[in-house]
Structure 1
Amino acid sequence: MSMKFAFSTLGVPGLPLPDVLRLAAEHGYHGVELRAHPEEPVHPGLDPARRADIAAEFKAAGVEVLGLAGYARVAAPGDDEPVVAEIRGLLELARDLGAPYVRVFPGGADGQSAEEADAVAARRLGTAAEHAADLGVRILLETHDSHPTGAAAMRVLGLVGHRHVGALWDVMHTWLGGEQPSETYAALSPYLGYVQVKDIASASDTSPLALGAGVLPLAECVEVLSRHGWDGWLCWEYEKRWYEDAAPLPGLLTAGREHLGRLLNDSA
């Protein structure tokens, strides 16, 4: 098995880090994607001593920090500086924690033309890319909101043209955008950082489900990645934070990892 498995702390809102690390170790996950938000234990407001402690806790547990899920919106209208500063703060936190990736959103607004949104996003990402390169961290633009497909994300990434700016493939948004996994992979493969997997009941009901219990084309996604020899991370983003009635994630983690393992074996 070449791919590695992680889960996002979006699935365990506010859970203390020692408990997160225990879940990862007990259920066979190699890494964790940390939601970088003030309501979580990890966010850019942490002082250097706390950052060092967190990095040490992960190292001691043998669990990797896959990435920081930030909330900067790179295509959003307004001044560049606050957005670039927000990305810089995330990049510095990632460096301090030993995380290779920082997630940002497109965040284009209604009334913006696609060309304008693309240009604004590319300009800000290009500016932040220099800082990312200095710190050895990659910024990943998630397939999300105004740019839900690989084709849409590629428009921005092609304009940036910097190896420290890549893509985060969220399989739900590309599916909702009407893109086939083979099409998404073809668009994003030069830029792909890692892949967020999840499952939902339907396009109209996006409440999180156990992996394999819904309609998302997880088997096809894993199959296309395997066929191309991709050996990166699959990260389960279970959106418990936004769906309080969803089943608790801890009880689903082992079955989720086993499901991904079966998909990998079937595609080998």
Structure 2
Amino acid sequence: MKLAFSTLGMPGTPADEVARLAAATGYHGVELRAHPDEPVHVGLSPDERLEVTAAFKSAGVEILALAGYTRVGAPGPDDEVIEDLHEHLALAHDLGARYVRVFAGGGDAPAEDVDVIAARRLAAAAPRATDLGVRLLLETHDSHSRGVDVARVLGLVGHRAVGALWDVMHPWRSGEDPSATYAVLAPHLGYVQVKDIASADDTTPLPLGSGVLPLAECVELLSRAFYGDNPTPEPQEGWLSWEYEKAWYPEAPALADLLGPAREHLSRLIAESA
């Protein structure tokens, strides 16, 4: 498996600095937060996109994904959501990223209604994703925190260009066992976000291995898939991306000082599960 980290842990950091840090700490890739408050967003000019791409190419680091904030199941016109998806897909293509992360964002609406709305919009954007060679990944998050919730939507979409992003924290906090999450998401899985927290009620980010999330179990499930008898659609190159949510917890220690130990911890878990 290959290792990445998310720039949610270092908000506002220029892309070239992120690329250099990733290379210096031994990561294969980076998950770039795509937001107007960040250096990478859909408003970048063609020249600015080339600069970002060049910085990562020079560092020998892959841009794994754009962590976008499109809420595909939220109320409102379909056209606006689909256009936002198209803009993020174009940015991902220009930067050479494999994936674009999206949320369901259904709020308190009935789950079956959100499922239909989200699936309709994702299906509408899927042909563009295919043309650009990028996959849309619906994250286990907010109204669709469990694997079973995401799988319902993906079953309605039924398109290879639309898959799943497993954030290990949210299904676990919702009471879904990692083995159950993996079982329903395996046919759709793009990559996996890892993190650690103090408890189900305290989601302040912690260094990997110092909290309560079942990271060893998750890595073992993925290792069996990538190297065992029942491979996922992308068995040759599974990715783990550390999402350290310092943007929401400014008091948390700096990510840069934790990247090396985190890589060592994940590498050890991968080795022990092989």
TM-score bucket of the superposed structures, by smaller chain? over 0.9
Counterpart in 2 of 1:94?
A: 92
Cα RMSD (Å): 0.7
The superposition leaves residues 182-210 of structure 1 with CA deviations (integer Å, 9 ceiling, x where unpaired) of: 11111000100000000000011000000
Counterpart in 2 of 1:59?
A: 57
Deviation at 1:22, TM superposition (A): 1.4
Unaligned runs of 5+ in 2: 227-234
The aligned amino acid for 2:113 is: E
Counterpart in 2 of 1:263?
A: 269
Counterpart in 1 of 2:133?
A: 136
Q: Please say if 1:174 is aligned against 2:171.
A: yes
The aligned amino acid for 1:76 is: A
Comparing 176-185 with 88-97, greater Cα deviation is found at 176-185
Cα distance in 2, alignment partners of residues 13 and 56 from structure 1:
21
Q: Secondary structure at the match of 1:228?
A: helix
Cα distance in 2, alignment partners of residues 51 and 118 from structure 1:
34
Cα distance in 1, alignment partners of residues 20 and 63 from structure 2:
14
Counterpart in 2 of 1:236?
A: 242
Q: Please say if 1:120 is aligned against 2:126.
A: no
Counterpart in 1 of 2:257?
A: 251
Cα distance in 1, alignment partners of residues 218 and 31 from structure 2:
20
The aligned amino acid for 1:16 is: P
Deviation at 1:38, TM superposition (A): 1.0
Contact 1:199–1:208 (Cα < 8 Å) also in 2: yes
Cα distance in 1, alignment partners of residues 221 and 176 from structure 2:
13
Counterpart in 1 of 2:182?
A: 185
Contact 1:150–1:174 (Cα < 8 Å) also in 2: yes
Unaligned runs of 5+ in 1: none
Which aligned pairs between 1:21-100 and structure 2 lie closer than 5 A?
A: 21-100=19-98
Counterpart in 1 of 2:192?
A: 195
Contact 1:176–1:203 (Cα < 8 Å) also in 2: yes
The aligned amino acid for 2:246 is: K
Counterpart in 2 of 1:4?
A: 2
The superposition leaves residues 197-248 of structure 1 with CA deviations (integer Å, 9 ceiling, x where unpaired) of: 0000001100000000000000000001111224411000000000011011
The aligned amino acid for 2:218 is: C
Cα distance in 1, alignment partners of residues 163 and 269 from structure 2:
25
Contact 1:33–1:65 (Cα < 8 Å) also in 2: yes
Cα distance in 1, alignment partners of residues 15 and 101 from structure 2:
20
The superposition leaves residues 100-146 of structure 1 with CA deviations (integer Å, 9 ceiling, x where unpaired) of: 10000010021x21110000000000001011011110000000000
Q: Secondary structure at the match of 1:216?
A: coil
Q: Secondary structure at the match of 2:106?
A: coil
Contact 2:16–2:52 (Cα < 8 Å) also in 1: no
Counterpart in 1 of 2:219?
A: 222
Give me the identity figure in percent: 66
Deviation at 1:265, TM superposition (A): 0.9
The superposition leaves residues 52-99 of structure 1 with CA deviations (integer Å, 9 ceiling, x where unpaired) of: 121111111100000000000000011111111111100000000000
Equivalent pairs counted in the alignment come to: 265
Q: List, as ranges, runs of 4+ consecutive aligned residues in structure 1 with deviation greater than 4 Å.
A: none
Cα distance in 2, alignment partners of residues 222 and 249 from structure 1:
22
Deviation at 1:17, TM superposition (A): 1.5
The superposition leaves residues 125-182 of structure 1 with CA deviations (integer Å, 9 ceiling, x where unpaired) of: 0001011011110000000000001101000000000000000000000111111111
Deviation at 1:29, TM superposition (A): 0.3
Q: When the two structures are superposed, what TM-score results if normalisation uses the length of structure 1?
A: 0.98
Contact 1:77–1:109 (Cα < 8 Å) also in 2: no
Contact 2:196–2:210 (Cα < 8 Å) also in 1: yes
